[in-house]
Structures are given as structure tokens and as C-alpha cells.
Amino acid sequence: MKPDFYNINPDVAPEETKESLQERFFKERLEWNDKIADMSVKMRKITEIPELMTYLYTERQRAVEYYHYLISLLIILGKKYKIQYDERWQFYTYKSQIKYPSETLKGNRIKVDLADLYEKREILENHSKFIEKTATSLEHIIWAVPKRIEIEQIARGK
């Protein structure tokens, strides 16, 4: 069974997904924040550490997979952006009735034309950075578990 995060489709028009993509990523960020908070709470009780370890490794792997999936989508969107940018550049350079006095003005016009695709790419990039940091937070919790056990042993006089 594929994880739910594979349902992001970079081929759907940006106007159709922009709002839903932002909402979906907002909900996902809240879910990941809740998971991290829950794991932090489980660190308090030494009896919950074995269960926590299994959960930690699973969720870390999910976060890493998701991060790489988002990066693959960014690569696809980047390729589309470059192709469309080149098409627009060719159009404004050779076929358009409007002649731009500088490459900067022409580039700005092209960026306006491709604003939806650019925005979608930025939303994905922002979310991928969040997921990357989440995986790092999970790694920090994994690192902290043995330290927590040591503290418990010291507290018990061992």
C-alpha cells in the first residue's frame, strides 16, 4: 500500500491545486508537529521507550521517504518550468509584437506568465524543507533515547 503522500500530482494545473496543496501541507505540518510532541511526551516514561523506538524509526523512515518524494516532484516541476521558460523566451524574442529593451524586462514578463508554476514549485520546496527538518528532529529524538535511559539508570542508582 502506498503512503498517502504519493497522491500529490505535479501534472494537475496549478490553479486547481494551489489552495488545496497549501491546505494539505498545512494539515500535514500539524500532523507531524503532533507526532513529534507525542514522542517527546513518551520520553518521560521509561516504560514507553521500547514502543517509542519502534515508532521513531518508522516515522523517521516515512519522513525521509516523503522528503525524497517531494524532491522528485520538485525536479519534475523544475524541468517543466525550464521548458516553459524557454518557450516563452523564444516567443518574446522572435514572435512577439512587443520588443523588450532588456533581457531583464523580458525575463520579468516570462516570470509573470509562469507565476502559477513558480508558486507551486515554491510551495513544494517550502514543504520539503519542513519535512527535512522534521526528519532531523526525529534523529535528535533517536539520539536522545539512550541518554534518557542513562539518566533513568543514574536516578535509580545504577
pLDDT tens, 22-40?
999 999 999 999 999 999 9
Quote the CA–CA distance of 24 and 19 in Å, as a whole number.
Answer: 8
Cα–Cα distance list, 75 to 10, 128, 155 (Å): 10, 12, 51
pLDDT for 121 beyond 80: yes
Q: Are 151 and 52 in contact (CB under 8 A)?
A: no
Across the chain, how many H-helices and E-strands are there? 4, 0
Mean pLDDT of 47-62: 92
pLDDT for 19 equals 61
SS3 38: helix
Which range, of 48-52, 72-76, 112-116, 131-135, averages the lowest pLDDT?
48-52
Lowest mean per-residue pLDDT among 5-9, 55-59, 130-134: 5-9
Its sign, for the CA torsion 36, 37, 40, 41, is negative
Label residue 157 left, alpha or beta by phi (over 0 means left) and psi (-120 to 50 means alpha): left
Please tell me the least confidently modeled range out of 4-8, 80-84, 114-118: 4-8
